[in-house]
Amino acid sequence: MRRSVVVVAGTLTGALLLAGCGSGAGSGGGAADGNAAGITAQGTGTVSAAPDTLTVRLGVHTEGATAQAALADNRTRATALVGALEHAGVQAQDVQTSGLSIDATAAPDGGLVTGYQVDNTVTAKLHDIAKAGAVIDAAAAAAGDAVRVQQVGFSISDDSALRDKARDQAVQQAKAHAQQLAKAAGVSLGPLRSITEGAPSAPGPGPLRQAAPTTPIEPGQQQVDATVTVVYGIG
């Protein structure tokens, strides 16, 4: 599918560390000293791209006078729903039962049991977002009035290239910030001592949101972030 990418420079924070600027800092061994003068800066890069995967959670809700009757009806409808997904091209490994419950229903006053209800939830990953609306329609038709379209979410199946781009941006911004700090302090930027990447933020399926009553699917954009911290010596 066609993917648009937008790179956004993130915000940066930094600190100028001037500890140990005495006689020890001027010696050749100053760089090996843990207290040597240095500049620490942080950079964040953000890359946006259109997601290529839709995760949809479909529920099948049935009721009956007995648990066995409610379960049998649910089994028939849930089997039809899963069959419709597979017939539409969704791979078996992308369809998973994510919930199953059987509960008794009682009278409004909390008295005698009046029946039973069964809820079966199926989560499916659709890799062709352009056809996602038709797939959801087919699954809903197979389950009939028992279907519940609960939630949908978008994700990027392989974000490694996007994360690399965000990481490049983060490093460049951190370096630029360190240079700015050095200039403001009236010193020159020394060699790079260390660079550390923060814990990656996983876009995953993105914020889940309630599905619309109709089935137009609009993926929007997904963000991938990277954060690095750099430490430079002072020349």
What are 206-220's pLDDT values in tens digits? Answer: 444 444 444 556 677
Main-chain phi, psi angles of 146, to 5 degrees: -80, -10
Q: Which residue type sits at 126?
A: L
Task: Report the pLDDT averaged over residues 123-147.
Answer: 93
pLDDT for 146-163, tens place per residue? Answer: 999 998 899 998 989 999
Domains of the chain from N-terminus onward: 5-50+158-234 (3.30.110.170), 53-155 (3.30.70.2970)
pLDDT for 86-128, tens place per residue? Answer: 999 999 999 999 999 999 998 887 778 899 999 999 999 999 9
Query: What percent of the chain is helix, strand and coil (3-state, nearest 5)?
Result: 35, 40, 25
CA angle 159, 124, 4 (to 5 degrees): 30
Main-chain phi, psi angles of 231, to 5 degrees: -130, 120
Q: Which residue type sits at 105?
A: T
What's the confidence (pLDDT) of residue 216? 56
Q: 67-87 and 132-143 helices cross at what angle (nearest 10)?
A: 150
What's the confidence (pLDDT) of residue 200? 62
65 and 115 Cβ atoms separated by less than 8 Å: yes
Which tokens hold the place of 206?
């993105």
Instruction: Name the β-bridge partners of 196.
Output: 229
Instruction: Name the β-bridge partners of 105.
Output: 115
Q: Above pLDDT 90, what percent of the chain?
A: 63
Q: How confident is the model at residue 193 (pLDDT cuts 50, 70, 90)?
A: very high
Residues 212, 153, 98, 141: what is their CA dihedral angle, to the nearest 10 degrees?
30
- Among 21-30, 63-72, 138-147, the range scoring the smallest mean pLDDT is 21-30
Cα separation, 178 vs 12, in Å, equals: 10
Largest distance between two CA atoms of the chain: 88
